[in-house]
Structure 1
Amino acid sequence: MIELAVLDIAGTTVEEHGAVYVALEEAVRAAGGRPGRQDVERWMGADKREAITAMLTTPEAAPPPETVESAFADFRDRLRRAYAERRPSPLPGVPEAIAALRAAGVKVALTTGFDREVTAGLLAEVGWDDGVLDAVVCVDDVAAGRPAPYMIFRAMEATGVRDVARVLTAGDTVRDLEAGTNAGAAIVAGVLTGGLDASALGAVRHTHLLPSVAAIPALLGLPG
């Protein structure tokens, strides 16, 4: 039986209209980088500082730390403005799915490539900052972000789940699936509510492809 569902945030449980990747690309360009669409897609779901560093790295040199920090601060400012202009909201059926999982005794944790400050603001926007979830793990809580499995393990630690064979993970990016596989989760589900289609997600090791997180209760044989 699944005891813990570990779910990504942006594009998986929360509709934020792709603002994170627009803000990321714009911040990298403002810092002197020239990322293309494929470059941004390659870093979907990753630690944002790591993504900025990679996209600013040239064959000659990596960017100095102060450049990365400046670009990261710019990214957060751009994202904050984007969320103010177009508020994020839970994806359809997700609040109901989370409620159904928790009613059945399945704990629900969110993980994200955002840092704690950005995450806290985002969850407050969608009304998930108090009592809706069992745990929230941010990239700055662990030694490395996705595809490392550490955020999943931290979610297990936070919720008291000891057996990874009782863990389900779900996300909308390649790195989400890689992290779930690296953790050894029993169910590693890709969801099609983000920026990648079934072809892109299906090319990565997984156990299921789902239209959305809303399909998870049915997958587990729970009432929706």
Structure 2
Amino acid sequence: MTPDTRTQKTPDIRLVVLDMAGTTVADGGLVEQAFAAAARRLGAEPDSMLDHVRATMGESKIAVFRHLFGEEAKAQQANKAFEAAYAELVDGGRVAALPGARETIEELTAQGRTVVLTTGFARPTQDAILAALGWQDLVPLTLCPADAGGRGRPYPDMVLSAFLRTGAAESVRQIAVVGDTSYDMLSGVRSGAGVVAGVLTGAHDAVALGAAGATHVLPSVAELPGVLA
């Protein structure tokens, strides 16, 4: 069941924590392509693993590799191979902002809200995406799992780190968490955020987002300023 947002009163949101790939950034399935390349470099057959990769979109990538490969050394090797493969695709011009994403961030900022961008990628990959889009100075803070103690989604650590580091909100109820996966929704629910919004431009559908606790399900992030206004 998906949430009915028509009669919900939106809290006074001061901090907006936005996911990147699938929410504000279109990567055209690059995660799966980079994963397949990484698996092959380790001598593994990616086809048997892709279902798990798709199901865990939004989770910290190193956590996914730990599940798939077991031993830590091999997981770290796979993660490095993944990051290298993804970086090559980014350098090849394969990422773009989703329609209205930059405008949404600028409008939220103009409304007096603080926007933070988060990802399940490692810092070098996140920085490469930001550089490719020209977004290095678009928001005051960007976070990857390592910036928040090493645990990525579905843990709430990045959301709570954004809350503590920006000082933009007085209560976690003044946070909006926005993403395209069930892991984004879980991290928002676990943080206590007042708005946990799923968008339909990425990995998971409305049913999965609603089941994971979304308070709102939106066609795209472009709808967010109107919902919060």
Q: TM-score, normalised by structure 1?
A: 0.90
Kindly indicate whether the alpha-carbon contact (under 8 Å) linking 2:177 and 2:197 is maintained by their aligned counterparts in 1: yes
Q: By how many angstroms is 1:30 displaced?
A: 3.8
Give the C-alpha shift of residue 84 in structure 1: 2.6
Aligned runs of 1:86-101 on 2, under 5 Å?
86-101=93-108
Residue 204 of structure 1 and its aligned partner are, at CA, apart by 1.8
CA distance in 2, matches of 1:134, 1:101: 13
Structure number with the bigger relative contact order (C-alpha 8 A, sep ≥ 6) is 2
CA RMSD in angstroms, aligned pairs only: 1.5
| 3-state SS of 2:23 partner | coil
Q: Match for residue 217 of structure 1?
A: 225
Q: CA deviation at 1:29?
A: 4.6
Q: Residue 136 of structure 1: which of 132, 142, 145 is its match?
A: 142
Aligned residues: 214
| Percent sequence identity over aligned pairs | 38
Cα separation, 1, equivalents of 2:162 and 2:118: 8
The 8 Å contact of residues 32 and 50 in structure 2, kept in 1 or not, is answered as no
Which residue does the alignment assign to 2:16? 5
Please, which runs of 5 or more residues in structure 1 have no aligned partner? Answer: 57-61
- Taking structure 2 as the reference length, what is the TM-score of the superposition? 0.88
Quote the offset at 1:104 in angstroms: 0.9
Superposition map of 1:1-224 within 5 A:
1-31=12-42, 32=44, 34=46, 35-56=48-69, 62-63=70-71, 65-130=72-137, 132-143=138-149, 144-160=151-167, 161-221=169-229
How many Å apart are 1:18 and its aligned residue?
1.9
- Mapped partners of 2:103, 2:92: distance in 1: 26
**Shift, 1:124, TM fit:** 0.6
8 A Cα contact 2:90 2:128, kept in partner: no
Structure 2 segments unaligned to the other structure (5+ residues): 1-11
CA shift at 1:33, angstroms? 5.5
Q: Please tell me the residue identity of whatever aligns with 2:32.
A: Y
Residues 49 and 68 of structure 2 are in contact (CA less than 8 Å); yes or no, is this contact kept in structure 1? no
1: distance between equivalents of 2:173 and 2:216?
15
